[in-house]
Amino acid sequence: MTSTTDHEADDAAPERDTTTLRAAPTRSRRFLTYLAWAGPGIIAANAGNDAGGIVTYASAGAQYEYRTLFFMVLVTVALICVQEMAARLGAYTGKGLAALIREEFTLRVATFALLCLVLANVGLVVSEFAGIGAALELLGVSRYVSIPLSALAIWALVLFGSYRYAERIFLVLSLVFFAYPLAAVLGHPHWGTALGSTLLPHLIASKAFILLGVALIGTTITPYMQLYVAAAVADKGIGPEEYRYERIDSVGGAIFGDVISMFIIVATGAAIGHLGQPLSSAKEAAQALKPVAGHFAEQLFAIGLLGASALAGAVVPLSTAYALSEAIGVERSVSRRFTEAPLFLSLFTAQVVVGAGVALAPGNLINLLIRTQVLNGIITPVILVFILILANRRSLLGAAANGPVFRIVATTSVIGVSTLSAIVVVQSVLPWFGIPT
């Protein structure tokens, strides 16, 4: 009996070794596999560095120099948690956030969540096209020409191009953000002060600082980013088996996007932070790029602003279209024809038309962009609470639900974001009753 068992073991051993060798991927294969699945996390995070994001980060550097860097570290931790949860929900359920909210909550609660999303996103779409107009005005092109043409180009790319092709275009556009780290280095900032402000809090107890803090939250942890990630992961067919690669994409994208954001703050703080005043024009924001481009700083800033706005100009209306289509339960995919997904593509089209139309009205771009980010900062906690509850549910995710440590970190992040947003709401409401703030 022993001899037979040993003989069988000897025969089985080579087979197990061969299987192990076949299953063990090389580093190059792992990297290629990651590249094949990469996209949603990186796109969403870099779309957060849109026109409103660039202006808000630049305004933080211009007004408070490096003081907001520690705050950005905390926001980055929160963003990593939120993006990872959104991607995990998409991978393990095969559904977007809107569909999950519709299925897991009551109709009234789901309707409230979607109304918050639509309110925030429509304002963002307007700001993206306003950013495109402002960027091309720096290059001498009238916004009355640039905005309609850019709207048509974005619409055609999504409707007539494949999803993967559009995704590659978005990734290429995000490369313009590499100008900011270079500008920060060449701008010779006070690195000791910047490092100290990154590692230790240097907060200011003022209404303006808190308002800007909420704007930074709104432009960094924007609701459409989470909705886009979950829906895009589901749309690409990324499941539990491939999720480890998508997790790298989501977490890495969040870190990369926020590192670029911090470099924008450092570069602007080094260039005009000594003035201690918020931005009043796009030309002021362009001064941060002078160490890189010299007299061509405005042109380089315009290219960056154009790329950022175009990236988000497609992602934001797509996230809204995904959310509403999922909530209703109809076909949603950029890979479908208009006849196959009429509501989804009509919603995308309507947002592009409205956003471009409103952006053509005269107004101060800087004030518009920052106010939009504050609005997002107030609405963001609503979406984050839904994501946290869903990711905590073992009935939905099983073993993939949030573990004890992750749950504590994520809950703390959501509470922190919600607290700041509540402070801004209170500060805004109290004057209505004659109470000074």
Tell me, what DSSP letter sits at residue 334?
T
Q: Name which residue leads in pLDDT, 363 or 35.
A: 363
Q: Which amino acid is at 349?
A: T
pLDDT of residue 36: 47
Nearest partner of 90 among 44, 46, 48, 125, judged by Cα:
44
Tell me, what DSSP letter sits at residue 281?
S
Q: What is the CATH number of the domain that holds 116?
A: 1.20.1740.10
Q: Name which residue leads in pLDDT, 324 or 369.
A: 324
Q: What is the mean pLDDT of residues 315-330?
A: 80
Instruction: Return the number of other C-beta atoms located less than 10 Å from residue 77's C-beta.
Output: 17
Residue 67 has pLDDT above 90, yes or no: yes
Residue 34 has pLDDT above 70, yes or no: no
311 lies in some domain: yes
pLDDT of residue 49: 75
128 lies in some domain: yes
93 lies in some domain: yes
Q: In the chain, how many domains are there?
A: 1
Over residues 2-13, the pLDDT tens digits come to 444 444 444 444
Over residues 234-245, the pLDDT tens digits come to 878 888 988 888
285 lies in some domain: yes
pLDDT of residue 432: 63
30 lies in some domain: no
329 near 99, Cβ under 8 Å?
yes
Cα distance between residue 370 and residue 223, in whole Å? 16
Instruction: Return the number of other C-beta atoms located less than 10 Å from residue 259's C-beta.
Output: 15
Read off the pLDDT band of 225 (50, 70, 90). confident
Cα distance between residue 305 and residue 326, in whole Å? 31
Token pair of 415, please? 């509470």
**pTM of structure:** 0.80
Residue 25 has pLDDT above 50, yes or no: no
**Which residues span the domain enclosing 202?**
40-433
319 lies in some domain: yes
What angle is formed at CA 411 by the lines to CA 109 and CA 238, rounded to 5 degrees? 75
The string of DSSP letters for 181-222 reads HHHHHHT---HHHHHHHHHS-----SHHHHHHHHHHHHHHS-
20 lies in some domain: no
273 lies in some domain: yes
pLDDT of residue 5: 43
